[in-house]
């Protein structure tokens, strides 16, 4: 502790105690900074409006979604008829459920899981020298209650042969001359990180959550 003399008297300052408080505050600020996503003010490529997103969802529901549901339900009817007639059932013909089949068509991940996974990918990439990172999203399927369910899983990608602009250590999605119609990096040049775990086990709505911008508060 030391004293500071001023006109009104003596100001006492507990150096040790206040240093501890300041250290704790500094550590809390550092920890908090890691929980805040940094944004450079530039919008990423490929943003679409809620109206466009709603149109895409409707197109999927009216096309692929109908085809998938009809195909699975038809397969269930064929298997059920075989059971009734006593015909032999193949090993892969196990999709027997009493209800009308409706596939999953939206998958939800928490922000913590997404940010945590991307952070893990970044750290893994730095350690292994991977550059020009990306995320490839695969469709997948699993069997639940005798029915196939759609899922997605995220796979990190990299392209160490890309023509980087500027600092070669940058992990930004740099736009190359050979791009697709949307202006992104050529996805065919992106290699999967097979030494990295994929992100799966998102949650899906039952029934599916409709994407309807008219229900939003904004």
> Is 39 a member of any domain?
no
3-state secondary structure 42-90: CCCCCCCCHHHHHHHHHHHHHCHHHHHHHHHHHHHHHHHHHHHHCCCCC
> Is 67 a member of any domain?
yes
Q: What is the pLDDT of residue 176?
A: 34
Interhelix angle 50-62/64-85, rounded to 10 degrees, is 30
Q: What is the pLDDT of residue 74?
A: 82
Same domain, 26 and 125: no
Q: Which residues of the chain have pLDDT under 50?
A: 2, 4-6, 30, 33, 93, 164-184, 218
> Is 26 a member of any domain?
yes
For the stretch 158-193, pLDDT in tens is 888 865 433 333 333 322 333 333 344 566 677 777
Same domain, 108 and 94: no
> Which residues are CB-neighbours of 69 under 8 A, at least 6 positions away?
101, 102, 103
Helices (H) and strands (E) in the chain, counts: 4, 5
Q: What is the pLDDT of residue 182?
A: 38
For the stretch 37-58, pLDDT in tens is 567 788 878 888 888 888 988 9
Among 102, 118, 147, the domain boundary falls at 102
């Amino acid at each position: 502790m030391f004293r500071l003399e001023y006109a009104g008297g003596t100001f006492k300052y507990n150096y040790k105690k206040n240093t501890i408080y300041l250290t704790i505050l500094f550590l809390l600020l550092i920890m908090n900074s890691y929980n805040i996503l940094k944004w450079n003010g530039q919008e990423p490529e490929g943003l679409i409006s809620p109206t466009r997103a709603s149109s895409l969802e409707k197109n999927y529901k009216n096309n692929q979604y109908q085809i998938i549901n009809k195909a699975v339900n038809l397969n269930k009817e064929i298997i059920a008829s075989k059971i009734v007639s006593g015909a032999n059932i193949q090993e892969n013909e196990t999709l027997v459920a009493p209800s009308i089949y409706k596939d999953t068509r939206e998958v939800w991940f928490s922000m913590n899981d997404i940010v945590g996974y991307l952070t893990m990918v970044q750290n893994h990439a730095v350690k292994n020298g991977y550059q020009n990172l990306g995320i490839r999203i695969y469709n997948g399927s699993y069997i639940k209650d005798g029915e196939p369910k759609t899922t997605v899983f995220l796979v990190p990608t990299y392209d160490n042969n890309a023509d980087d602009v500027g600092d070669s250590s940058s992990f930004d999605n740099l736009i190359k001359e050979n791009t697709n119609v949307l202006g992104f990096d050529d996805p065919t040049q992106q290699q999967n990180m097979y030494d990295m775990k994929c992100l799966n086990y998102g949650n899906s709505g039952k029934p599916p959550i409709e994407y309807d911008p008219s229900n939003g508060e904004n």
